[in-house]
Amino acid sequence: MKKKNIYILVFLLIGNIANAQIWKDPNAKLDARVDDLLSKLTLEEKISYCGSRIPEVKRLGIPYFEWYGEALHGIIGWNCTQFPQNIAMGSTWNPDLMFDVATAVSNEARALKNTGSKEVMMFSPTVNMARDPRWGRNGECYSEDPFLMSEIARMFIRGMQGNDPKYTKTVTTVKHYVANNVDKGREKHHSYINKKDLYEYYFPAYKTCLVDEEATGIMTGLNGLNGIPCSAHDWAVNGVLRKEWGFEGYVIADWAAVQGLEVRMKYAKSQPEAAAMAIKAGVDQECFRNDKRQAPMVNALKPAIEQGLITEADLDVSVRRLLRLRFMTGDFDDPSLNPYSKIPASVMECDAHKKLALKAAEQAIVLLKNDNVLPLKKDTKSLAVIGPFANRCWMGIYSGFPNSKISPLDGLKKATSAKVSYAEGCDVLADADDDKKIAEAVALAKKSEQVILVVGNDESTSTENVDRKSLQLPGNQHKLIKAVRAVNKNIILVLVPSGPTAIKWEQKNIPAIVCMWPNGQEQGTALANVLFGDVNPGGKLSSTWFKSDKDLPDFNDYNIQSGRTYMYFKGKPLYPFGYGLSYTNFKIDNVKLSSEKVNPLEDLIVSANITNTGKIDGDEVVQVYIHDVKSSQKTPIKALKGFKRISVDAGKTRSVEIKLPYEAFAYYDTIQNQFMVEGGVFEIMVGSSSESIAETKSVKVKGGLVPAIKVGQKSGYFNARDENRKQKWDCIYSDKTAMNSSEKGKADGKEWLEYEITFVDPGFYVNTWEAELNFTSATKEAIVETSMAGAKIGSYTIMKNQLKLPIRIPIPPEYGKPVRLKVKTMHGEVNHHSIKIIPPGGKKPFVVTKVVAKSE
């Protein structure tokens, strides 16, 4: 009997072990947890992981999950802090600041997850090289230079993913791999690139993010590479990412790109074949959200298995990678075990984040010209603020919707006691009313002591699916500038561009020019601080600015050596790479090298002194370039290999040391398929821009191989002692009060009402939807303000007898959920009738008449 009981106990023990929920055990090894959960999923449940919307698994207690989030320079959502656009962050030349910004962004992402509002699968950063400023998404990337791009991007990854040894704060998805720099027709476009350019120019930033910083994911581009679609490119994904670099994270195809293998690229013969191609190439998932349909890849995978194109074991490889990330974010663990579950909802657009957004905006501003007219005098009597971007806080594409937005006009009004007047001047694009608006601007400029002219380009000329046709200012903006300049010479030109802009006439005729960029929600305050001298500008251009379109090669030419970027451009630029002025002067001297000869795998230390010879404290960016004096390869005229932004008090001198690892001297050998250093003499050039070189030193470098590295190993530029690798999520807060907003919840006593609207996913990315407010009556020049979820959208003046007011509603990616649009009467009296919603893509408009809430 006793023996029988032992058998029963053993049997029960074995049964319990067999049925054990290893995947729920936070102390079990990660791989064991992943394998256990994978074994419990049905084929259909596994397949569902290959799209953005993943259905719940009731029997396992796993809720619905959305693998989709945008965090380019702030979370796309309501009341999320919006930092300077990526091109602006690149112009700070400050990786440490990028870490702080990314920490704030990821904290807000976690706060939203902690409240059940969003997941933390983020499609960022964008590290496509800014090889041509006409690219519609040029503003999304940090630089035209692979080294500057890498150093800024690495700290974005570090800040977003956090430093906890077990849990990942947010999942980063580096995009768009690879060489997707033409947006119009990108779904059918192929980038033809030689191997040398790929490894030396297009690959480095991806490799830095994946190998050095161990980014969790990567997105393949909608384009093709050398005749093969990126989302089915076995060599680019399995060959380079997984085999060469040892990448074990997930790979997602851009929007419906797997479907596009058949439908647009004509590369596959059917959808099952397209899905099989993606899985075999190492692509795990297809980006696609729709309220009614799963991703095309999801629909095609079961037929692909049934037809024998792939096996369930092939699918398991991809699903295992996707499940692994959910464990890494802590999805299946008690929140008390995860330090990021402690991030409170109060951090959303909190005081510390807005202060950081202001600091970033100030550091991003680049002073392009100053004929001793800046900073502005505090006793200026009258100020005319003119231009299509003057009364608008344009933050760039892929922006969220903060509660607070400071336009240039807002910032200048708060900064001065002068009489500040405003005129739009013209539209961004040519408009029938432009001549009238220009005349109004000219009249205002005539009677004003000083003019601030704010111009640029926005999503109407440069965005996803829309490339710039020219580097010139669009519409009648140049005409506006010339007209105003004819009546008032006291002009400061402020640019809000998506990238390098051809302003040759303006450089010659306007006394001061400032590049502000799409500079986040605090841009107006930052601009005012710079213009009035409370902040000394120290930003530097992260791309070459050309004089005209004629300086650029063919848009579809991906050969970097055909005159692209400062590295190969032989003409005279309007403003060189790395350029930026200051209100003070700096002298760089006493440049020294740690050695006269560099042996294989040795570092070279470059040191220099930086003296502020002026009377104002300021920042300088010390830049180190190298040039191979005599090479058998075609090498750059010069190439950035080190930099440091440094603050120097007036009259003081500081020293700086910059490390150049052995790999800084390498080129990619296409015969041996590895990086090599060709022995010889290299020039080390130290200066304040690519053309302003203070001193040049020579060093002999011994030839040799640069060892290939994979995930788990590090490049020579990786700094394990960097303090950013030790910081916790709350490192950016001086105290707990900074994690709250001192401005939220303030009532102003104005009348308001709310409409409830459900927006349906149009199936493609749009920034805004068109709408129309309808009134039964309104007093002359009544003013209404619109907002959603507490985030202000815009303010509008209702003209005489106007009963229809066209507006635009910014849409975060939360389709299918009812949201409320608040309309507040700021001035006058308004009687509302309805709101007409006009969906994009030619879909039928609908009208909402019901008021769901209103002020008492």
Per-residue pLDDT reduced to its tens digit, 176-209: 999 999 999 999 999 999 999 999 999 999 999 9
What digits encode the pLDDT tens for the residues 672-727? 999 999 999 999 999 999 999 999 999 999 999 999 999 999 999 999 999 999 99
- The answer to whether 528 and 411 are in contact (CB under 8 A) is yes
Strand order in the sheet with 791-798: 791-798, 782-788, 818-827, 751-758, 851-854
Q: Average pLDDT in the 450-475 region?
A: 96
**The pLDDT of residue 556 is above 50:** yes
What digits encode the pLDDT tens for the residues 47-98? 999 999 999 999 999 999 999 999 999 999 999 999 999 999 999 999 999 9
Helix or strand run (H / E) with residue 783: strand 782-788
- The answer to whether 504 and 55 are in contact (CB under 8 A) is no
Distance of alpha carbon 340 from alpha carbon 344, whole angstroms: 9
Contacts of 212 (CB under 8 A, 6+ apart): 154, 714, 715, 717, 718
Distance of alpha carbon 136 from alpha carbon 37, whole angstroms: 42
Comparing 148-162, 528-542, 609-623, 796-810, the range with the smallest average pLDDT is 796-810
- Give exposure, 290-304, as e/b (b: 16+ Cβ within 10 Å): beeebbbbbbbbbeb
User: Max CA-CA distance within the chain?
Assistant: 110
Q: Average pLDDT in the 9-27 region?
A: 65
Q: At residue 652, what are phi and psi to the nearest 5 degrees?
A: -105, 165
Q: What residues form DSSP beta bridges with 785?
A: 795, 824
Q: Average pLDDT in the 230-237 region?
A: 98
Q: What residues form DSSP beta bridges with 121?
A: 171
Q: At residue 216, what are phi and psi to the nearest 5 degrees?
A: -85, -20
**The pLDDT of residue 1 is above 70:** no
Distance of alpha carbon 726 from alpha carbon 322, whole angstroms: 27
Q: Give the CA dihedral 492, 494, 495, 500, nearest 10 degrees.
A: 50
Tell me, what's the pLDDT at 19? 56
> Burial, 570: exposed, middle or buried (Cβ in 10 Å; 0-12, 13-18, 19+)?
exposed
Q: How many Cβ atoms sit within 10 Å of the Cβ of residue 826?
A: 16
Alpha carbon 372 to chain centroid, angstroms: 34
Share of the chain above pLDDT 90, in %: 90
- The answer to whether 124 and 179 are in contact (CB under 8 A) is no
Beta strands at 586-593 and 618-628: parallel, antiparallel or unpaired: unpaired
The tokens describing 630, both together, are 């005599």
Tell me, what's the pLDDT at 811? 78
What digits encode the pLDDT tens for the residues 393-408? 999 999 999 999 999 9
The tokens describing 528, both together, are 């005012």
Share of the chain above pLDDT 70, in %: 97
What digits encode the pLDDT tens for the residues 801-842? 899 999 999 876 678 889 999 999 999 999 999 999 999 988
Distance of alpha carbon 753 from alpha carbon 832, whole angstroms: 9
- The answer to whether 671 and 621 are in contact (CB under 8 A) is no
For the chain, state the CA radius of gyration: 28
**The pLDDT of residue 287 is above 70:** yes
Comparing 209-213, 417-421, 444-448, 760-764, the range with the smallest average pLDDT is 760-764
**The pLDDT of residue 25 is above 60:** yes
- The answer to whether 211 and 246 are in contact (CB under 8 A) is yes
Which residues are part of the catalytic machinery?
A: 254
Which of the four pLDDT bands, split at 50, 70 and 90, describes residue 732?
A: very high
Helix or strand run (H / E) with residue 528: helix 523-531
**The pLDDT of residue 7 is above 50:** no
Tell me, what's the pLDDT at 388? 98
Q: Average pLDDT in the 465-491 region?
A: 97
Tell me, what's the pLDDT at 5? 52
Q: What is the mean pLDDT of the chain?
A: 95
**The pLDDT of residue 157 is above 60:** yes
Helix or strand run (H / E) with residue 579: none
